[in-house]
Amino acid sequence: MSLHAVIAGWLLAKPSGANTRLLALLRHIGPLLGHGERVTVLHRANFAPPRLHPSIQFQAIAIPAAPTFRRALAERRLLGNALRSLGASVLDHGFLPVPFVPCPVVLTIHDLRDADGHGRGAKRLSRWLLRRSLTRVHTVLVPSLFTKAQLLKQAPGTRIVVAPNGVTMPECAALPHEDGYLLHVGHLERRKNLAVLLYALAMLPMSARPNLRLIGADAGAQNSLRALTKKLGLVANVQFLGVVDDAEVTRQYAAARAVVVPSHYEGFGLAALDGLANGKPVLVSAAGALPELVCKSGIVLPPDDARAWASAIAALPAPTAEATQKRRARASSFAWPRTAELVLAAWRTAATHPH
């Protein structure tokens, strides 16, 4: 039986790290498909599909991304028939709960934030949904050894493939001015621990205080961050840029002095990887997968020690070609073509050995 992988793409059209990953993988999986192999991406009607390899097709389906209960009900009602009509040999899914479907499932889990108590979902319910869903799954794809370890704590014996996220390397890295800004890219939410940056900036003398730019949608933390910014007298130093297009994100990375990722919990950390790819100093928390990701190429700090963050910001080195190249070399080890090979191999295995 030829491979026909069907991908649940309900989140497409919404900027996120998960969508960056999916579209990058599709671009690299296309040329790897063998004779008779194909991919269909199911998506919402408001998504405009890109033009990719001829063996990758897109099809709209009336399944919403949120809220969870509506998505789950729509999947239960529509997904089985859609997979049968397409002749799917494997479903690539990225949501919990996992529905009953008439083909093997390869599940992507970016992190276990809810099950580990760092998300919005109730921890006990999230763990129950995870374990129940895994009984319907052939293989789980995770982006880091950290996420693999967390998953095995919840469900020992799970078949797991570590398929790290990749990065599209800029052709070159611009050297910014030494007084450039700090950049954070990601949703404004509690687990991102952005308050520690504000406290750190407030500890620095105004003459040595860099600006901080926050790119990303409000996910529940923006009001409290704005209030803290005002309380600490940082209104002139902190810019909330909201959601911007990819071209603007690229420009912001290129001109930043450093990239900061102080999260309490990350299953991977695409912003840190993008920072390294641009040759920037990257400051990350000693939490989640971040130390694993940056290795010796980043500055790893205690997540809740504002004084340590202030000291690290004050001591940021002047940009040099040698340091920039070392950071870019670390980033280049995360290659989308290799990840695409791992994902495609997982699909093929699930399709030909479903049990």
Residue 203 has pLDDT above 60, yes or no: yes
Task: Give the span between the Cα atoms of 140 and 250, in whole angstroms.
Answer: 31
250-292 pLDDT tens trace: 999 999 999 999 999 999 999 999 999 999 999 999 999 999 9
Q: Which of 61, 50, 55, 47 is nearest to 24 (CA)?
A: 50
Angle 123-134/145-154 helices, nearest 10 degrees?
90
Of the chain, the percentage scoring pLDDT greater than 70 comes to 97
Q: Of 16-25, 48-57, 183-192, where does mean pLDDT reach its minimum?
A: 16-25
- For 172, how many CA atoms within 13 A lie in the half-sphere containing its CB? 4
Give the number of other CB atoms < 10 A from CB of residue 159.
Answer: 13
Q: Which of 259, 204, 264 is nearest to 237 (CA)?
A: 204
Task: Give the span between the Cα atoms of 298 and 61, in whole angstroms.
Answer: 42
pLDDT of 15: 65
Write down all domains in the chain, each with its CATH number in brackets: 4-166+335-352 (3.40.50.2000), 182-332 (3.40.50.2000)
- Alpha helices (H) along 155-211: 195-203
298-326 pLDDT tens trace: 999 999 999 999 999 999 988 888 999 99
Most confident of 5-19, 123-137, 175-189, 227-241: 227-241
H-run or E-run covering 197: helix 195-203
The pair of three-digit structure tokens given for residue 137, joined into one six-digit string? 């799954």
Residue 177 has pLDDT above 60, yes or no: no
Amino acid type, 229:
T
- In this prediction, residue 234 has a pLDDT band, given cuts at 50, 70 and 90, of very high
DSSP-derived letter for residue 188 is: B
**Sheet containing 299-301, strands listed edge to edge, beginning at the edge strand earlier in sequence:** 238-242, 212-215, 182-185, 258-261, 282-285, 299-301
Residue 175 has pLDDT above 70, yes or no: no
- For 7, how many CA atoms within 13 A lie in the half-sphere containing its CB? 23
Task: Give the span between the Cα atoms of 95 and 240, in whole angstroms.
Answer: 29
pLDDT of 121: 77
Task: Give the span between the Cα atoms of 215 and 225, in whole angstroms.
Answer: 13
DSSP-derived letter for residue 222 is: H
pTM: 0.91
The pair of three-digit structure tokens given for residue 153, joined into one six-digit string? 């704590």
Residue 172 has pLDDT above 80, yes or no: no
CB 39 within 8 A of CB 55: yes
pLDDT of 246: 86
Residue 11 has pLDDT above 90, yes or no: no
Question: What value does the mean pLDDT take over residues 35-56?
Answer: 94
